[in-house]
């Protein structure tokens, strides 16, 4: 169980007490006694410590069943001399390595080229590094003599990430990071930014803030419009339902076969019956007489229709006399 960072090699507790005998790679892969771990060494700059570094150290740690991983970190002076300027200083790089889970021991101010004296001092069995020739300090490959001695074990590089790639991203997006750090409180002097660029970055930050506010207002407006549309849709739907209900009720009451027409017809029939009662029959019995009328005597002459001539008068008298004879 890991309870603390890996110790430094110059601490007395890190001195190897086990007898150091020369091992071959085949022997190391078969396994060694518990008190005789295979001592593997990996060195580097480890600037901006990232996952590629960690994967390389993981491979070095797991090369053999029983291994002890020692990591050498070069100092700032040596790195600036042979490779270039670093982002992290040596103390930061030392501490980054101490807190990697695969590291058992850290050597500060490690040498650029490994000497037999250094290997013997730290009882190193094998050196782990990627197999790409590393040209530096006037040599085509600083690990050439290690390979010839049979002490070199290769690891695989992690593609897509490196310290140079990270620095390239920072340089490419320099304005973005400068503006971000100015906004976070860093001064133009700390960022090595000129007065004009400082004002430009601060103005751009203000513009970005305004854009963000406008974007927030637009999003809130869209949300408000969406809610209004949703409520309007509900209101229209309810209005349509109420309209259908109203029209249905109106047709039931006032339609062609509605209740209002039936009620009007019933009332109209009652009124007609009230104003026009039934008439008496038009025909009467053949020999019946109306009780209200009395027979006129034969001598009564209808004054309203006098005979138009003497002949007509004589004819009417003769008919009347014949009628009397029939009655007798």
Environment class of residue 232 by beta-carbon count within 10 Å: exposed (0-12), middle (13-18) or buried (19+)?
exposed
Could you tell me whether strands 67-73 and 38-44 are parallel, antiparallel, or unpaired per DSSP bridges?
parallel
For 100, other C-beta atoms within 10 Å of its C-beta total 19
Q: Report pLDDT digits (tens) over 193-230.
A: 888 888 887 888 788 778 888 888 888 888 888 788 77
Binned at pLDDT 50, 70 and 90, residue 103 comes out as very high
| Nearest by Cα to 86 from 73, 98, 70 | 73
Q: Which two tokens stand for residue 82?
A: 């042979």
The residue ranges of every structural domain in the chain are: 25-155, 163-253
What pLDDT, on a 0 to 100 scale, did the predictor assign at position 69?
97
Q: How many CB atoms lie within 10 A of CB 51?
A: 11
- Are 115 and 29 in contact by the 8 Å Cβ rule? The answer is no
At the topology level, CATH places domain 25-155 in Rossmann fold (3.40.50)
Mean pLDDT, residues 231-243 taken together: 81
- The answer to whether 41 touches 67, Cβ cutoff 8 Å, is no
**pLDDT > 70 in the chain, percent:** 79
Residue 176 has pLDDT above 80, yes or no: yes
CB of 130 closer than 8 Å to CB of 154:
yes
Average confidence score pLDDT of the chain: 81
Tell me: pLDDT of 254 over 80. no
Pick the closest to residue 107 from 24, 40, 166, 49 (CA basis). Answer: 40
- Per-residue pLDDT tens digits for 115-129: 999 999 999 999 999
Measured CA to CA, the distance from residue 90 to residue 40 in angstroms comes to 22
pTM of the model: 0.61
Distance CA 293, CA 207 (A): 121
Sheet bearing 38-44, strands edge to edge: 105-108, 67-73, 38-44, 126-130, 152-155
């Amino acid at each position: 169980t890991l309870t603390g960072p890996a110790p430094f090699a110059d601490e007395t507790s890190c001195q190897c007490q086990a007898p150091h005998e020369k091992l071959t790679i085949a022997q190391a892969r078969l396994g060694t006694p518990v008190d005789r771990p295979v001592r593997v060494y990996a060195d580097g700059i480890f600037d901006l410590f990232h996952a590629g570094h960690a994967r390389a150290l993981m491979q070095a740690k797991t090369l053999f069943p029983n291994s002890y991983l020692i990591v050498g970190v070069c100092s700032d002076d040596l790195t600036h001399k042979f490779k270039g300027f670093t982002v992290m200083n040596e103390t930061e790089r030392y501490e980054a390595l101490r807190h990697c889970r695969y590291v058992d021991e850290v050597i500060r101010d490690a040498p650029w080229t490994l000497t037999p004296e250094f290997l013997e001092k730290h009882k190193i069995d094998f050196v782990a590094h990627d197999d790409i020739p590393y040209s530096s300090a006037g040599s085509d490959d600083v690990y050439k003599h290690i390979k010839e001695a049979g002490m070199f074990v290769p690891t695989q590089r992690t593609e897509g990430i490196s310290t140079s790639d990270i620095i390239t991203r920072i340089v490419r997006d320099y304005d973005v990071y400068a503006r971000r750090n100015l906004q976070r409180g860093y001064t133009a002097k700390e960022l090595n930014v000129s007065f004009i660029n400082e004002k430009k970055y601060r103005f751009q930050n203000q513009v970005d803030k305004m854009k963000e506010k406008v974007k927030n207002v637009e999003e809130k407006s869209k949300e408000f419009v969406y809610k209004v549309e949703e409520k309007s849709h509900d209101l229209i739907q309810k209005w349509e339902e109420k309209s259908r209900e109203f029209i249905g009720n109106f047709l039931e009451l006032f339609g062609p076969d509605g209740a209002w027409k039936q009620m009007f017809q019933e009332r109209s029939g009652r009124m007609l019956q009230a104003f026009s009662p039934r008439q008496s029959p038009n025909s009467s019995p053949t020999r019946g007489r109306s009780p209200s009328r009395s027979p006129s005597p034969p001598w009564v002459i209808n004054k309203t229709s006098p005979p138009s001539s003497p002949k007509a008068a004589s004819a009417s008298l003769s008919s009347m006399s014949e009628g009397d004879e029939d009655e007798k």
